Chains A and B, each alone.
Chain A
Amino acid sequence: MSWIIARRRHPAAGYAAIAGLLVVVAVGYGALTGFGSGASASAPAQNATDIAQGRSLFLDNCSSCHGLEAQGTPQAPSLIGAGAAAVDFQMSTGRMPAKEQGPQNDRKPVTFTQQQIYDIAGYIASLAPGPQIPSASEVSTAGADAALGSQLFSTNCTQCHGFAGAGGALTYGKDAPPLTASTPTQIYEAMLTGPEAMPVFGDGTLTPSDKRDIIAYITQTRGETNPGGFSLGRTGPVTEGLVIWLGGLGFLVLIAMWITAKRRDTRVDLDES
């Protein structure tokens, strides 16, 4: 301890303390803004499905929670009528099969092939009609209107996913994930099936063409460069506030200390006598 006490009046001690503090804060901040990423498979048009194959995969991987006939259990909802789109969304984003019990199932690495996913989807679809997996042309953004999409996104999606799709908190530990990794098909399926806390946006609410506009907006926005410099996470003024306090003020205080450091005759130094 005494070496600190002896040196705390050293001319460089203040800088060292500030630098140390900045490092601590920077590390802390870095920890706050860790970004996840996920792999995504591009979805071809729905293949013919082998329902028997799908059923056996279902029994092996899903029935423990969803029941032997997909009728649901106290642990997990019934999948009868959930539709192929729900299965494709849940499995292609790695959410299903669910692992630990949390407030919500997050994106995980996918352990099934696309063919296996289609098989299970076909099996679930065979139980009762439900939302279909959209075709490639249904999710194509060619000719879509991103400007309209921005308006639709702003009125329907920003309250949960944030203005630039960076994600946001919901109540009870749930959150709307960032839309950085979702493929156009997954975006479409998410709107069709409304996973967990997300509402269902059926074709009556958002027409298929609206959905394509939204997909165009999301994919363009996440791909676009930030004309003003680093994006600061696209989470609005909170990170701007952190930057101005830590970066702006921190930088200027260091400069002020440097400007005033070479004192001519009023030096106070406990170590010199």
Chain B
Amino acid sequence: MSDDVHVPGALRGLGNWVDERFGGAGYVRTLMKKVFPDHWSFFLGEIALYSFVILLLTGTFLSLFFVPSMNDVVYHGSYIKLNGLRMSEAYASTLRISFDVRGGLLIRQIHHWAADIFMVAITVHMLRIFFTGAYRKPREVNWLIGIILFSLGLIEGLFGYSLPDDQLSGAGLRIFEGVLQGIPIVGTYLAYFLFGGGFPGNDIVPRMYIIHVLLIPGLILALVTAHLLIMFHQKHTAMPAKDQTDTHELGQPFFPYFIAKTTAWLFFVFAALAILATFAQINPIWQYGPYTPLAISSASQPDWYMGILEGALRMMPAWEINFLGHTLSLSVLIPFALPLGIILGGAAFWPWFEKWATGDNSEHHVLDRPRNAAVRTSIGIAVVVFYGVLWAEGANDVIANKLQIPLYTVTWISRVLVIVGPILAYFATKRICIGLQRKDAELLEHGLETGIIVQRPNGEFEEIHRPVSEEARAVLEAKKVPLALPVGAAAVDENGVSAPQARGLMGKMRVRANQAFLETIPLPAGDGHGHGNGHEGNGHGEVEGGGQEHAAVGASTAPAELDRLPDAQPQRPDPGAAGDESES
């Protein structure tokens, strides 16, 4: 890449005009040269960003016609099947948006599909961050912001879904009210205040409306801005690659490459949503009918992102206890607080837990390949399974109906799976990760199989192995072997006395956690750091005698054993060196 970014004249003219008045050319120049990594998974967060832009635009359009009021009106609109029915103004105005406002239905459907993809994108974006270890120092704050954004999105979606006051939104609100009431001591007051009296009252739609169109979008906007500024400041992480180090980031400069790609991306997100909204009907509130507390439809589900809460409720046995004169509705409290508490709370604490368990407090800018962080990856998959089971249970009646399985069977299967599934997933994933690590180690040591068999002078047959390319080697060698904690390694000295730090409950737990992290396949001897040994430049490729021991085979669990292995030295970047972003 050239030293200076080439900017077209027109843009430069505009830039100068702005610069002479407001300054900031320096900042823009850095921005222009900012390096962006080139991997598809880095575009997931941008789906969230662009769908949020779409939500703002379409939401503004909707708010021009939507009437946030629960006053009774008699409907006389184009949807004759509901003609003459009494309904709330909110519902009537949503019908009007759908059938009488030009383009209204399309915009409504774009808004709703965008809300769905917004949460999908945040979710998979978070999974990408987690599985590659991008949340590690110095990016913990952005990780926390992400978790808050996800939570805000949940509430924003719930309230938006409840605005039209149709049969399904009312059912969702009723559950929401029940959950609020389930909170010990203050719950009934909370529900009473929020609904301005008994359910459903006349206040909830206008209140949710202002939260939906002003408060939460404002918070999300502010946090997204902070998120992006922090990201710019800290630079992107990068997938392991040749010449990619913690201090030297590869990729393409913002201008012109990234800006072109991201603009294209913006239009693809728009296009995907427009296509969906044109061809796939979403939230047909005219079929659900206006809300009445007397009715409830089968297949009453929330939008997908609330499905985990719905599932937890459906899975939970009806437990209720009386504690010091207060009724505790465990059947509501536990499903509401526990699953999301475990997932979001656990996610928030994870970076610090990992630091505590590995003793690794250095900065990381190069990502881990998921297989190389077996514990993290396995925990992640376990949580995904946990989430998935709860989510599926949220649709238990639809599953029962479509698959012709009795309803209670579905519920019981999910009750078992929600506990057994994550445990199995943890161990299975860990085995798979270790297996993949072993394969990588073998690949580094022996190279690729070529399928070419040669006969040695002594009559022996052997297959020629070709060394892996430098690029591939760099990826394989980017693996970082976790360190044994000092407390762990010295847990028991020669006299059988355990180290003082390893005593006590916390100390023991820390040693246990550390040992789990240490289970890894080290890279082959001599290959750990850099290149230039016998693997390269040999035209025939490397040929190794059979039966040679692999230095790396056998997962090592004990820290002491790790010490004996030649390549147990962890590769830690120099924490002091900040990233040098531009690779120009």
Question: Residues on A close to B: CB < 8 A?
Answer: 2, 32-33, 103, 145-148, 150-151, 154-155, 158-164, 166-173, 175-176, 217, 220-221, 224, 226-232, 234-238, 240-241, 243-245, 247-249, 251-253, 255-257, 259-260, 263-273
- Counting CB contacts under 8 A, is B264 at the interface? yes
Which of chain B's residues 29-43 have a Cβ closer than 8 Å to chain A?
A: 38-43
Contacts of A237 in B (CB 8 A): 168, 283, 301-304
A158 to B170, CA, bound (A): 14
Q: Give me 20 other A-B pairs in contact (C-beta within 8 A), A226-B284, A240-B280, A253-B44 excluded.
A: A155-B294, A158-B167, A159-B296, A171-B406, A173-B409, A175-B401, A221-B287, A229-B279, A235-B398, A236-B299, A237-B304, A245-B304, A248-B117, A248-B273, A256-B41, A260-B39, A265-B250, A270-B443, A270-B472, A273-B469
A245 to B448, CA, bound (A): 37
- Counting CB contacts under 8 A, is B55 at the interface? no
A161 to B295, CA, bound (A): 12
Question: Known contacts A170-B407, A228-B109, A247-B276: does B250 contact A266 (CB below 8 Å)?
Answer: yes
Contacts of A147 in B (CB 8 A): 80-85
Question: Residues on B close to A: CB < 8 A?
Answer: 38-44, 47, 80-85, 98-99, 105, 109, 113, 116-117, 120-121, 124, 167-168, 241-242, 244, 250-252, 261, 264-265, 268-269, 272-273, 276-284, 287-289, 292, 294-304, 307, 395-398, 400-409, 443, 448-449, 451, 466-472, 475
Question: Known contacts A150-B82, A259-B261: does B400 contact A169 (CB below 8 Å)?
Answer: yes
Contacts of A168 in B (CB 8 A): 297-299, 397-398, 401
Most chain A beta carbons < 10 A, residue from B109, B124, B242, B471: B471
A103 to B409, CA, bound (A): 14
A-B contact count (CB 8 A): 238
Q: What 10 A-B pairs come out closest when comparing CB atoms?
A: A168-B298, A228-B281, A241-B304, A273-B469, A173-B406, A169-B400, A158-B297, A256-B40, A169-B401, A163-B297
Q: Is the CB of A151 within 8 A of B120?
A: no
A226 to B403, CA, bound (A): 25
Most chain A beta carbons < 10 A, residue from B40, B117, B296: B40
Q: Is the CB of A248 within 8 A of B116?
A: yes
Q: Is the CB of B398 within 8 A of A169?
A: yes
A240 to B120, CA, bound (A): 12
Question: Known contacts A32-B403, A249-B120: does B292 contact A155 (CB below 8 Å)?
Answer: yes
A226 to B280, CA, bound (A): 9
Shortest beta-carbon distance from A233 to chain B in Å? 9
Most chain A beta carbons < 10 A, residue from B47, B272, B289, B403: B289
Q: Is the CB of B272 within 8 A of A241?
A: no
Q: Is the CB of B281 within 8 A of A231?
A: yes
A272 to B471, CA, bound (A): 9
Shortest beta-carbon distance from A21 to chain B in Å? 14
Contacts of B304 in A (CB 8 A): 237, 240-241, 244-245
Shortest beta-carbon distance from A13 to chain B in Å? 14
Shortest beta-carbon distance from A29 to chain B in Å? 9
Q: Is the CB of B284 within 8 A of A228?
A: yes
Question: Known contacts A155-B295, A248-B272: does B81 contact A217 (CB below 8 Å)?
Answer: yes
Contacts of A171 in B (CB 8 A): 406-408
Contacts of A255 in B (CB 8 A): 265, 268, 272
Q: Is the CB of B85 within 8 A of A228?
A: no
A226 to B108, CA, bound (A): 15
Q: Select from chain B the residue with minimum beta-carbon distance to A177.
A: B401
Q: Is the CB of B85 within 8 A of A256?
A: no
Q: Is the CB of B289 within 8 A of A273?
A: no
A104 to B298, CA, bound (A): 19
Q: Is the CB of A227 within 8 A of B281?
A: yes
Q: Is the CB of A241 within 8 A of B307?
A: yes
| Residue from the list A221, A234, A235 in contact with B81, Cβ < 8 A | A221
25 chain-A/chain-B pairs, Cβ below 8 angstroms: A147-B80, A147-B84, A148-B84, A150-B289, A154-B297, A159-B296, A159-B297, A163-B287, A164-B287, A228-B280, A228-B281, A230-B280, A235-B398, A236-B168, A237-B283, A240-B303, A256-B44, A260-B39, A263-B38, A264-B38, A266-B38, A272-B469, A273-B467, A273-B469, A273-B472
Q: Select from chain A the residue with minimum beta-carbon distance to B391.
A: A241
Contacts of B39 in A (CB 8 A): 260
Q: Is the CB of A268 within 8 A of B241?
A: yes
Shortest beta-carbon distance from B471 to chain A in Å? 5
Q: Is the CB of B272 within 8 A of A159?
A: no
Contacts of A230 in B (CB 8 A): 279-281
Question: Known contacts A158-B298, A266-B251, A268-B472: does B400 contact A229 (CB below 8 Å)?
Answer: no
